[in-house]
Chain A
């Protein structure tokens, strides 16, 4: 009896079956821990990849801006600008212009949404430099730097990201007073509506999934068309 009792005491305190159950439970619990850890790790890795991809995208955009800005130094900006007009007038081009057809649907459409909001590299005629690239502006009207070529990415009231190119001494707000297009031009199969008010030319178009607004002052029609041709180039 008492031998058995002492045996029972040890059997109870160091219980074979209890140890066995603990082992089985522990092994299953460890497996589920691994699953949780693995899932968490996957989520973190995916999050990190997304973050890095986004970061790299921003860095690329900034570096592009940097290149454009470095194109023009303050010292030679005036010289470059004066050169640009001579180059425009000397270039040969074969564009056709005609009177505007009111019923025609133009390539520019405000309803189209674009996702590509990255400033693309527009190759301008040699000797013409961009004054500066600005980041997304909320109000195009407020943007004024009339002396030189400007290119900026802005967001209109409908949320569209647009590239605006200016060669004008007026603000975009002033140029917006022109309400009706007077002519159309076809460059590389792209039909453009050109708005003219005395010496100011304006046009809006969509090229390679990117919206553009181009305005010029003191350029004649040929020079303006030449400017458009430099933007609308077949890849």
Chain B
């Protein structure tokens, strides 16, 4: 059993670093579904290190995260999610994207969590990443673009197109 002191330290670290670590993992994973497992592996390692009385800080945890992401995919089949839509007219569509994206207001009225999740998983992995960073972590498009090595317009395009497709998908599902 872990001591109360270790548990307290761990809780503190977990709360302080979770968002940054999850952002790092999301940006570097090959599949959005792996994020949970990788984060769990990282924090298990952190917990183990705390039990050995190793002094922890954010950079140390990032070091662990880097190794764990590598380890996770080292012996594992890398699932590549194939895009279902064409990206031929990206340039044209990017121009049409309004600066304020509020399309989700009209698209997802009646939602199904599982349906949306499955849909996002079936798309390119970068789309799920963008969604996570944009909606869950609340990053700006600029920040997302920087984190994923994309242009801002690309990020916009992915968001816009996916939400549009998602809307059609959900309507069809009904």
Contacts and interface: CB of A to CB of B under 8 A. Distances in A.
Interface stretch (A14-22, A124-132, A194-202, A208-216): A14-22
A57 interface: no
Nearest to B43: A23
Interface of A: 1-3, 5-16, 18-20, 22-24, 26-28, 31
B131 A10 contact: yes
Given A14-B35, A28-B1, A28-B2, A7 B40 contact: no
Interface string B157-170: 00000000000000
B42 to A, nearest CB: 9
Interface of B: 1-2, 7, 14, 18, 22, 35-36, 39-40, 43-44, 47-48, 104-105, 107-109, 111, 113, 116-117, 131-132, 135-136
Contacts of B111: 2, 5, 9
Contacts of B105: 1-2
B168 to A, nearest CB: 15
Nearest to A15: B36
Given A14-B36, A19-B39, A27 B136 contact: no
A12 B39 contact: no
Contacts of B40: 19, 22-23, 26
Contact of B104 (A6, A12, A24): A6
A50 B44 CA distance: 39
Nearest to B19: A16
